[in-house]
Structure 1
């Protein structure tokens, strides 16, 4: 029960709220240290596995409580079934930290050795995080690295990515546990390991990695419609919703002399397929782009007929200007287009065998087609903007192809952009959790991020992962702001997850071989 509660406390470290932002890294390490101490004291491997399962279940039930809102409030699923779904998801995900703690205990040997435990716990925990972010299309939300975007370990992100930050955090947590449960001599080892890891993170945080400004700053407008999720797909309200977004997109600026060159609207700001919207409703959008002399970019589902008679259906982002022909918009021929590549299970595709579960909800869900792995960034006003949609920015390694130079020499992205609709999750931790995830992506890549969302968090993050400006959540408004794109590649952009995976493989295999020889 204590570890279940510790896991629930651990879940508080992924977004400010009950706990102030600067204390989140401390809370995460202390909570994980409770688990590390329990694993060290476990007499058997299965006891360590039980400890990891209880801790993980507590983390995921509390950290993902907002899934209940989506299923019950907006999906109209029965309370008992929605609650059971969250508990079962947490239990399934908790099997991975259980496997990680079991592996850490086995690799440490009997009697356990402090030095081996530090490496075994860090490597096994991080490997479990990586598996969770990969298996069954992946669900890496609440990776422990996200708790550290404001801490000294953030400096690891441009080198080894979020999994490298997770490794460092788990190592420090194991060291903190060692300060409590080890003998005096071993405590010196724990103190040295913890201090050196934190110092290394701080030192790496000073490096710029060759990231420099690219082009001129881009003036842009971000639109947050704050459309109630229960109204978003109501046929009787779609026209008024479109008019609201158009009025916000073209409203006079409150900043003297400011002229946006990009206007960005959220995911499915236009909630119909493009050919379901009559020409007389498309024309004001083209006129608005002409009036602003700007490129308008919006989320929209696309229906794209093919010459062979087959059609594709995608969750997409399109961009158009005042010169775009309405007929081209109706036929999904736009100057700029991005199709979502990493689809959400149950929301955008239905896993085999789970049709019954989807049928228990009242949601406009779809089976979408996937976009290409690398899609050309939008070239707007001297910047190259790589788009991703909602959940996609949880997968940092999947954003890298658009940042790197293309196979034919096409320029890589100077900015990242995310459009989202987290209205499905109400006024919950999902919104600030997602903002911290976006901040990690900027830390890893050295690229600023711009975000346009339905309910929050809409704002701008600079290349160092700091929030420059953000609209209050669950309010209707526009944010007129200027952002400076960047160029240059961090080590993480160059190598992705390969270095941290090699570190994990060498650590786990090396410890395993050593354990077998004892």
Structure 2
């Protein structure tokens, strides 16, 4: 359960998160090595995962019960079932690692299992592989990947090399190595002997740290184009009002009022970013006169608005529905907005199960909830970044920035653009109240910056609205659950990190090769 608090600087400070993750994971590693049977090793991983996820994603209860009107027992059951399902992946990792580490006789414990040269990489590779599986199976749920605890730690330099899964591999390698040394010292009662016999464990921890420091020190990107003056809008509209037909107009008015405010320094705003579903109806449900009010607001600022809106495309075969971000300015024709023929548009591609599409066999579950909008269609994998003010902004919506590899196509150069120089996320986390979900999401956005070297803009309904520079520093932030605007100047960047070029392939090859080699050694030992 303590491990579940290592993924956002709340309630612990940011500097403490890497220590908390390493120590709790290391303790779990020691328990796995002490397990007398495969079954017990599996249960240790399952219990560790259940505690992590029961705490770390407890905010799902708020969305199910408070906002989706699901009965409290059923909502609690939903959280419990999700935590139980997610705990299967740690159970798989610890079971596989234990099996790989066993001698033919099946003795357990450090010194009685195979050496540190086997046990430590086995656990790191198995755990990283299970994290990747969790991030891709059934559309994926990579929340609470252990790598996110190290956004501010010395291991973050693995991110531009091998992405968050590389950070996960490094952190589990380091935690397991340190745990081996501590366990050996406690068992023998002499630290010197422990170091002499467990030097591979110490070497693993030192190597993970050294690569992280080297990756962080390398200059991967360089400035691109003129700095962009931006405004991020946070209207703090209660979810009970946002989709209420009687309150929709007041909500849009509030967004426009905030967007029209003059900057304190008097400078013009080139780009104003408004959150997901700032227009909480389909574009053709607003009249040309209603859209003209948005155009007039943009004319007041003299720049471009990028806002979340539900889009409906009427085609010959059927109507298509998208969760989208579009742009408009003071010269945009309102009639084009009604028809959906806009100059810049991004359609969300990674949809939220149950909220934006119904997984097969779960219609009964969705019927228990009251969900506005839904059953959307997916956007294309690579959509052209928005060219605004000499920068190229790649949009993503809601939890799309949790899937790091899916942002990479926009960062890489396209047929008619140099690739994104700035990333921007629009979200509506009001579904989760004032919970850990908000700082956790910001932490994951910062990891995307570590991976790509691109600054990140975050415009949300209730928080965390923030500007993250290319060094992953939060240079501006609005307090959650307050209405306001965040003005900032952002410098775009160009150039590709190793991870931006290759994606997850290298870390997956490394993990697969390690597991295959260790399995071969295990089977070879068994045949002797």
TM-score tier (shorter): over 0.9
| 1:244-278 C-alpha deviation (Å, 9 max, x unpaired) | 1011011122123x111101100001101011112
2:127 is the alignment partner of 1:125: yes
2:322 is the alignment partner of 1:305: no
Asked if structure 1 preserves the Cα contact closer than 8 Å seen for 2:123 and 2:176, the reply is yes
| 1:321-357 C-alpha deviation (Å, 9 max, x unpaired) | 1111111000011111000000000000001111111
- Alignment partner of 1:326 out of 315, 334, 339: 334
- Paired residue for 1:208? 219
- Paired residue for 1:232? 242
Displacement of 1:434: 0.2
- Paired residue for 1:116? 118
- Which piece of structure 1 moves more, 461-470 or 163-172? 461-470
Matching of residues 239-318 of structure 1 within 5 Å: 239-256=249-266, 258-306=267-315, 308=316, 310-318=318-326
2:425 is the alignment partner of 1:423: no
Asked if structure 1 preserves the Cα contact closer than 8 Å seen for 2:289 and 2:334, the reply is no
- Paired residue for 1:4? none
Asked if structure 2 preserves the Cα contact closer than 8 Å seen for 1:74 and 1:229, the reply is yes
The separation in 1 between residues aligned to 2:237 and 2:65, in whole angstroms, is 19
The separation in 2 between residues aligned to 1:229 and 1:189, in whole angstroms, is 53
Asked if structure 1 preserves the Cα contact closer than 8 Å seen for 2:148 and 2:447, the reply is yes
Asked if structure 1 preserves the Cα contact closer than 8 Å seen for 2:276 and 2:309, the reply is yes
- Paired residue for 2:350? 342
Q: 1:205 aligns to what SS in structure 2?
A: helix
Displacement of 1:409: 4.7
Asked if structure 2 preserves the Cα contact closer than 8 Å seen for 1:346 and 1:365, the reply is no
The separation in 2 between residues aligned to 1:189 and 1:116, in whole angstroms, is 9
- Paired residue for 2:68? 75
Structure 1 unmatched runs, 5+: 1-7
- TM-score, normalised to structure 2, is 0.95
Q: 1:135 aligns to what SS in structure 2?
A: helix
- Paired residue for 2:178? 176
- Paired residue for 1:3? none
- Which piece of structure 1 moves more, 391-400 or 14-23? 14-23
The separation in 2 between residues aligned to 1:125 and 1:399, in whole angstroms, is 24
| RMSD, aligned α-carbons | 1.0
- Which piece of structure 1 moves more, 186-195 or 281-290? 186-195
Displacement of 1:109: 2.1
Q: 2:87 aligns to what SS in structure 1?
A: helix
Displacement of 1:363: 2.1
Displacement of 1:199: 2.5
Displacement of 1:192: 2.8
- Paired residue for 1:33? 26
Q: 1:189 aligns to what SS in structure 2?
A: helix
- TM-score, normalised to structure 1, is 0.96
The separation in 1 between residues aligned to 2:136 and 2:252, in whole angstroms, is 37
Asked if structure 2 preserves the Cα contact closer than 8 Å seen for 1:40 and 1:112, the reply is no
The separation in 2 between residues aligned to 1:464 and 1:109, in whole angstroms, is 43
Q: 2:262 aligns to what SS in structure 1?
A: coil
2:351 is the alignment partner of 1:351: no
The separation in 1 between residues aligned to 2:127 and 2:317, in whole angstroms, is 49
